[in-house]
Amino acid sequence: VAVTHAGLTVGEDGATHQMLEDIALMRALPNMTVVVPADAAETAQVIRWAASYQGPVYIRMGRAKVEDVISPDAEFVPGKSTTLADGSDVTIMACGIMTQQALQAAKMLAEEGISARVINMSSIKPIDEAAIVKAAEETGAIVTCEEHTVMGGLGSAVAEVVVRQCPVPMAMVGTEDVFGQSGKASEVLKVYGLTPEHIALEAKKLVEAK
C-alpha cells in the first residue's frame, strides 16, 4: 500500500485531508512493515524493495517537494536506519519531510556549539533498535521528528526501545492530540512546531537537562 499526500503539507486542503494518524494505525497491525521515505531517491529504493517483498507493506509519502538527503546509490533495508550527520551531544531521529528539517536543526545547533547526530529512521516497523540504543548510549538524549501525531508514531516507536533498553531524556516533535487546519504548507508546519527552529529548541532543552 503506497499512499501520498500524508501529513500537514497537503496545506490548503485542510483537516479533512491531512492524515496525521496513519503511522500509528498501520504499525499496530501484526506483520505490517511501515516505511516513511525521506526523499525521492529513497522512495524509489523502497518501492523496488517492496515489489520483491512477500508480505504487507505500508509506504507513506507526502505531497510537498523535499530536498534530496539520501544517496541514490544507497540500498533500502527494512529495520535499518541511516546516519546522515554524526554528533555526540544529542541525537535527532526523523522520517519523511522532517529528515531535511532535522539536518537544518543540526546546523543551527552546531552554530551554538552543540553536536547533533541526525538519523533518518525511515523504517518505522521494523525499527533499528541497535541504532537507537547506540545513540542513547553515546549521546544521552534523543529528539524524534515526524509529520504525524506524537501518539503512536515514530516517537512512540523509539521510546518503546529507549525505555526498555537504555532510558535517556527524550522529546518528540510532531502534532499533539489535534487535527490539522487549512493554510499554506510552510505556515501550517510552523503553527504546529514542525520546524528546524523548534527541533533545535527541544534539542537544547535536552542537552541542558542531561
- 170 pLDDT more than 90: yes
Map out the domains of the chain with their CATH numbers. Answer: 2-209 (3.40.50.920)
The pLDDT of residue 8? 92
d(CA 204, CA 45): 34
- 15 pLDDT more than 90: no
d(CA 25, CA 27): 6
The pLDDT of residue 195? 97
d(CA 114, CA 131): 20
The cell numbers describing 84, all together, are 546522515
More confident call, 210 vs 29: 29
Mean pLDDT of 46-73: 93
Mean pLDDT of 184-205: 96
The pLDDT of residue 121? 98
124-141 pLDDT, tens per residue? 999 999 999 999 999 999
Residues in the chain: 210
Count the neighbouring beta carbons within 10 Å of the beta carbon of residue 78.
20
CA distances from 160 to 154, 157, 164, 179 (A): 10, 5, 6, 24
- 89 pLDDT more than 90: yes
